[in-house]
Amino acid sequence: RRDAAGEPLYPPELAELSVPDFMAALPSLDASFASKVAAAATESKVLRYAASIQPATGSLTVGLLAVPASSPLGTLTGSDNLVEIYTGWYAATPLVLRGAGGVAA
């Protein structure tokens, strides 16, 4: 069985807009994101849009997460990508693959 759950980064109705209208609508999200950023910062966390795959169950989740600012995911900058692999060997400290993303920042 395969399950997938996702939280869009922006409201679904914005996906229907043209690029210029989408860009013009983005400021309407500022207050909501500022609130989320501030709440995360009070716990020394930052926001990241990330995916998690659980091979044992076949589940996939995608969404905005508050992660520790000092964590590998929390220290990402620009367009860098990161994959953390947790296994029996890497349970406490994951294997981290990190590198440049597809587009320069």
pLDDT in tens, 12-70: 999 999 999 999 999 999 999 999 999 999 999 999 999 988 888 888 899 999 999 99
Please check whether residues 58 and 86 belong to one and the same domain: no
Same domain, 83 and 62: no
Q: Read off the pTM.
A: 0.79
* Same domain? 49 vs 95: no
Q: Clarify whether residues 55 and 79 are in a common domain.
A: no
3, pLDDT greater than 80: no
pLDDT band at 90 (very low <50, low <70, confident <90, very high): confident
Domain count, the chain: 2
Reference 1, options 76, 64, 45, 54; nearest CA is: 54
Task: List the domain range (segments joined by +) for residue 28.
Answer: 3-66
